[in-house]
Amino acid sequence: MYDGWKIILGLIVFVIIVTLPFTMSIGKPYVQPKPSIDTPEIQKMEKKQCIEPKQYMREMHIKILYSWKDYATREGKRVYVASDGKQYDVSLQNTCMKCHSNKEKFCDECHNYVNVKPYCWDCHIEPKVGGVK
């Protein structure tokens, strides 16, 4: 192999870059996200369910919130009819955050985990730490 050291150097650089996800994780403990639903409002509920089934909320809450923004601020529609027929107020502050009053233990838990930075709190008032509005 002629000029072999250049090839080997290039391969070493390539391997270092490709294995970055593994090497960057060395020594860092694996923290699994555990969004907490332990709030006074949720404890009071008999059947602990959000406005839609859990799996649906996990996947689609972003779409629901985005459509709620348009319903409330553009169309003046203030009532959301869930798939099971129940009616809810279209309001982040008064519906979502009433039960999920623990933003840093519920919202942030997963959002930080997957590095998502929603801009809800650019306009809405961010709940204070401790869950009291």
109 versus 130: smaller Cβ distance to another protein: 109
Q: Which sign, positive or negative, has the C-alpha torsion 80, 81, 84, 87?
A: positive
| Among the listed residues 4, 5, 28, 123, the single contact to another protein using CB under 8 A | 28
Q: For the CB of residue 44, give the shortest distance to another protein in the complex, in Å.
A: 26
42 versus 64: smaller Cβ distance to another protein: 64
Q: What are phi and psi of 89, to 5 degrees?
A: -70, 130
Cα separation, 108 vs 120, whole angstroms: 12
Cα separation, 109 vs 32, whole angstroms: 9
Residues numbered 39-78 forming contacts with another protein, rule: CB under 8 A: 55, 58-60, 62-63, 65-66
70-to-16, 32, 86 alpha-carbon distances in Å: 47, 34, 20
| Among the listed residues 15, 22, 79, 85, the single contact to another protein using CB under 8 A | 22
Query: Which residues here bind another protein, judged by CB under 8 A?
Result: 2, 7, 10, 14, 20-22, 24-25, 28, 30-33, 55, 58-60, 62-63, 65-66, 110, 113-119
